[in-house]
Every structure is written in structure tokens, then in C-alpha cells.
Structure 1
Amino acid sequence: MAPPHNLDSNPLAGAELTSAALIHLDYIPPPPELAPFVTTYFLFRCEEPRIADIQPAGVGILAVFMQGRGEMFFRDGRVDPSHLVNVMTPLAAAAPVLVEGPWHAFGAALSPLGWAALTGCLSAAEHGNRLRDAAELIDPSLHAMGQAMAADYNAGRLWPADCAAMMSAALGPLLRDVPGAHVALMGRVADWLGQSLSPRVDDLARNALYSARQLQRLVDQYFGLPPKQLARKYRALRAAALLADPSLPPDQVALVQDQFYDQSHMIREMRLFAGRTPARLGAGDQPMLSALLDLRNFREITPLVGAVAQDVDARG
């Protein structure tokens, strides 16, 4: 399913977004046994009474809102309220977020394998683009975990590492088996996305050991988009991450820009998937963009889903 193309459902169009300077973000690595399922844990804190931002398209996120409640706005006009323990299902397009703060959230960025293992292989395409109650979508036990985490955190008894340990203990028993051949395919898709800023679907098909129809169905199921649209999404996200880096050399800036037909095409793609235009990438009002499109998320997280492409990763 291709992402929709109308841009009229953004309630933050023209609005001032919360400054990244007001956001505090800590990354906590998952334990080794959860690393294939959780790419990173994070603690997100903002003391503002109202937080406005745009969540880039991406993989699933499971998050406990210890403080703050809000809404997420989707391109089909649907508005989902937040819960104590949330699952932001895989997003095919950027989605605006409004939160009544202060906002403190502890979360896990899920790999495609993590999404599959926690949801019993629910289709990321059919169930994507939502903000769901994790107790309903995954398991009722997550509500009790969220209550305990929120109570202890707000009483000052939990540090980020403690939150990570609590969430790891809750998630471990909930992981379900995923067919081994499908796990292997997820790895091949991740490798394929990392080969180039604009990977060719033919290259994936040649190494996938599935028919074209099966390949499209399985990639759609686990990644939320078929291969061609998935490549589009990661091209835009990685281009946004690269162009937001002030140290990017001019020749690599040109290489990134050359991945698009022209300037207007690049602007449309970045608005659709990253929720920003190139002109706003350095504006300093992009907390979620900074947190979730930071270059290290494409270099250091394992598995490297959407890793920085080899053709622009010469800097090391």
C-alpha cells in the first residue's frame, strides 16, 4: 500500500514547533538478548506545557507515558489519543503530534522483527499508522508494567537504566516465534536498504528467494510498505538525516540532492516521510527529527535497518 499524498491533514501546518533545545533525550542500549527486537531504548523529557512536533515515518515504537497525554494526527484524518503504554505502529508517512506536558516518556524503538514477535506477526501495513494501547494490541500485562514504571519514576525511584530493565523484563516473555525464513528476509531487506540511498528493487528480488508477489506481500507485512515504497521512505529519511548534519561535505550534499528528480521532488518526499522541508532541517525546532533521524540511528543501531547507505558513508 503506497502512502497517501494529500498534505491537508497536518494540524501543525505553519505552527511553531517545540524547540529541540527544550528536549532532553537519553539513549539506553537493550540487553543483548533483546537487541534483535529492540534497536534502542530512550527516555524523552520536555517540561513545556504544550509540545508540538512531527513524528517521522519509521518503525514501531512502544512507549510508557509517565507524564503527559496527547494525540497523534494521521493523513487519512484519523486522530488517535495516547495511552499509558502506547504502541506507535509502523508509520508510512510523517504524523503530527500534540501533547499536554510536561512530557516524560520511556520507550523502545522496535525493529521489524520486534514488531512481528510482539504482535504475533500482525501486518505492519494493515495495522500501521496508528497509536494503539499496548495492553490491547500486545498483552494486558503491559498495563501493569506501565503503572509500576510511572509510579516509581514519578516518585524518583527509577533511573533510565532501571526503566530499561523493567521494560526488558516485561517484553522478554511476550516475544513470539517468527518463521526463520521470514527473519532471514528481514535481514536481506535491511542489507538491501543499506546498499544505496536509492536501492533498486531488482537487486532485492534477485537475492530474496521469493517470487515477486510473495516478496511484495512479505515486505509489506513486516515493514509496512512494499519494496519500492519502502526504498522511497528510507531515501527521504536518510536524506533528511544527512542534510541536517552541518558537517556534511558539499560533494555529499550534492550526491544526496541528486537522488531526487529536482528540488520540488525532494521537498515533497521529505515533507511526506520526514515531516520537514529541506529549508527547515537546520531550524532547531525538530526534537523528534533530531532524536529519531539522528545519523547514529542509521550507523550504530543493530540490526541496521535503513543504515546510512554505502555511497554516502565514506566519512566513517
Structure 2
Amino acid sequence: MRGAEEGQVAIAARSRAGARQPFDIVFQPSAGRLIPHVESFYLAHIDAPCIEGVERVDLGQWRFCLGGSGEVTFPDGHREATLPVMVNGPGTAHWTYRIEGPFRCFGMSLRGIGWRTLIGRPADQVADRLVDGSEIFGPEIHTLHAQLGELETLEEMVALIEPVLIRRLDAARRVPRAHVAFLRIVREWAASGDPTIDALYDAMEAQTGMGQRQVQRLCKEYFAGPPNHLRRKFRAIGAAMRIHQGAPLAEVMAPFADQSHMINEIKHFTGQTPGSLRDGIDPVLAATLENEKFHFLPDVIPETVDLSGR
């Protein structure tokens, strides 16, 4: 990044220069009963004294910071310090961070139904902010944080936290059937190409009897914004993925009014322009754009998973 002080690591800039990154991140998909709730677990490590980067709009996250600390600047400009255990809801736009490293973080990306069962707070009430994990899980969560800090591999960390997650699922209230239907319809709606808001409303009314206000309320509760904002996220992240993977701009621009509209929307949700998506970007962002399995809001991709059990 421009203006970086001596000794800092500006990930995006160093990536453009082709330098070797002191960075490692590994993902592991969830399994068994956790599949409908947790998209994936991950362990990230950045071996640098100072890290500055951009995080795209994404899923709800539950994170354990095992090394390093700093602050996050959210879309409205307010700043918050990172926490040992923190939760942040699905965001409204990209945000930036500055971390004093070395940085090590274990976390998980939560599907919509997992957000409801594991976190239990409406997403729009915690979007674009960091929530202290002890507010949600109690002070005992710091014991788990300490135990995770003693482990080395992602596999060990997942094995430790899986029983905790299962116990929380068992204690959670069952998700209403209408909400399960809503999440399924949102998946189908978003996977349909360039969805219209009316198509979502029509499908919800036909299959569940819900009206527009109910749909809008559920979109905010699970995805932190109304249907139109959700549609914009799908469109921008989908376009960013295709551009990063090499698709011509002319092929990506169809859902947008014009090229300027496309550029503005991609930058709003990813913090990058179409050009920077190809030239070199934050490796965390690159990992989420290169891997189709780590898709933005994976709930929207049709799955064979039976969500009715929880």
C-alpha cells in the first residue's frame, strides 16, 4: 500500500511486484451435522511486523485471533480494535484492517442457518462491527481460545471446536420451517443468473405465502440487508470472481448498466477495481475468489444438504 512505513507489509503491493508472500492460509470444509451451518474452517498466518489489507463483503464470521492485534476500519469510517474472540455479521461493503503481527487466526465462515443457530443475533444488528465473543458465548470462550492457541494445525483446531459447535446446535431453538424455505428459495433465486427482486418475491409468495415485508425482514435478519442489497452483493462478487479468474470484461458487464456501474459496484464490495483484481491483490481476497467452494454466501448455491433437521 502506498504510504506504508518501513517494515510494514503491504500485501497487495508486494503481490503486484511478484515478491514471495510471508503468508499462509488453509481451508477445511465442514462435515456431518455442521455442513448446513458452517461453510468452512480456516487457519491464516502472516509472518510480518505489520499487515494492512482489505476484506471483501463476506459471510458472517467467528474468529479466534491467536497472534497479533490491530484495528478494523468499517465502511462508514468508524474503527474498532480486534478482539481475542470476535464475531462479525455479513457486511454491507468492503472494509480495511491494520494488524501488528505476526498474525495468526483460526475462524469459520457461517452459512445463514448457522448464523441463526450458532450466533442467534439478527445479522443487520451486528453488521459492520466486531462483537466480543464473550457477549455471545460467555467468558468460558476464552478458555477455548487459550486451548486453540496451543495447537498447531487446522485439523487439530477443528477437532477441538466441533464438539463445542454440536453442543450449541443441540441447545439452540429449531429454525422455523418458513425460514428454512426462505434460505432454500434465496439459494435458487441467486443461482438463477441475474435475478430480479420481483422473482424472489413471487417465489416466496408462491411457495410460502410470505409477503414482501416478511421477505425483507428475513433478508436483514440473515444477510444484513434488504433483497436489493443482497442482489448487488451477488452480482458484484460474482463479477469479481470471474474477472480474477480471467474472464473478459465484456462478458462480465452484462448485468450492469455500464462499465462505470460495474467498476463502482465491484470496488464497493471488494475494495478492488477490475484492473487490480488481475494485477495482484490481498492473498486472502485472492483465495476466496479463486476457490469456487469458498463462495460468497454459500447458502445461495443449490445443495443436497437437508436443512430441515435444525
TM-score, length-normalised on structure 2? 0.85
Verify: 1:180 aligned to 2:177, yes or no: yes
Q: Is the 8 A contact 2:288 2:294 kept in 1?
A: no
Q: Does 1:206 align with 2:202?
A: yes
Residue 305 of structure 1 aligns with which residue? 299
How many residues of Structure 1 are paired with residues of Structure 2 in the alignment?
284
- 2:25 aligns to what SS in structure 1? strand
Which residue of 1 is the match for residue 140 of structure 2?
141
Map of 2:82 onto structure 1: 82
Q: 1:260 to 1:17 in 2, by over 3 A?
A: farther
What CA distance in whole angstroms lies between the structure 2 residues aligned with 1:193 and 1:142?
Answer: 35
Identity %: 31
Query: CA 1:297–1:97 in 2, change beyond 3 Å: closer, same or farther?
Result: farther
Please list the CA deviations of residues 214-263 of structure 1 after superposition, one character each: whole Å capped at 9, or x if unmatched. Answer: 111111111111111100011101111110013x3x4xx42311221112
Q: Quote the Cα distance in structure 1 between the aligned partners of 2:157 and 2:126.
A: 27
Deviates more, 1:30-39 or 1:174-183: 174-183
Give the gaps of 5 or more residues in structure 1: 1-11, 309-316
Counterparts of 1:186-225 in structure 2, within 5 Å, are: 186-196=183-193, 198-208=194-204, 209=208, 210-225=210-225
Deviates more, 1:46-55 or 1:256-265: 256-265
Amino acid at match of 1:45: H
Unaligned runs of 5+ residues in structure 2 are 16-20, 303-310
Residue 265 of structure 2: aligned partner: 269
Describe how 1:1-316 pairs up with structure 2 within 5 A.
Answer: 17-19=10-12, 21-120=21-120, 122-150=121-149, 152-153=150-151, 158-175=152-169, 176-177=172-173, 178-196=175-193, 198-208=194-204, 209=208, 210-246=210-246, 248=247, 250=248, 253-297=249-293, 304-307=298-301
- Aligned partners of 1:60 and 1:88 also within 8 Å: yes
- Structure 2: which amino acid aligns with 1:265? H
Aligned residues of 2:25 and 2:284 also touching (Cα < 8 A):
no
* Paired amino acid for 1:189: V
CA RMSD of aligned residues (A): 2.1
Q: Is the Cα–Cα contact under 8 Å of residues 59 and 110 in structure 1 kept in the other structure?
A: yes
TM score, norm. by length of structure 1: 0.84
Higher helix proportion (structure 1 or 2)? 2
Answer whether contact 1:71 1:80 (CA < 8 A) is retained.
yes
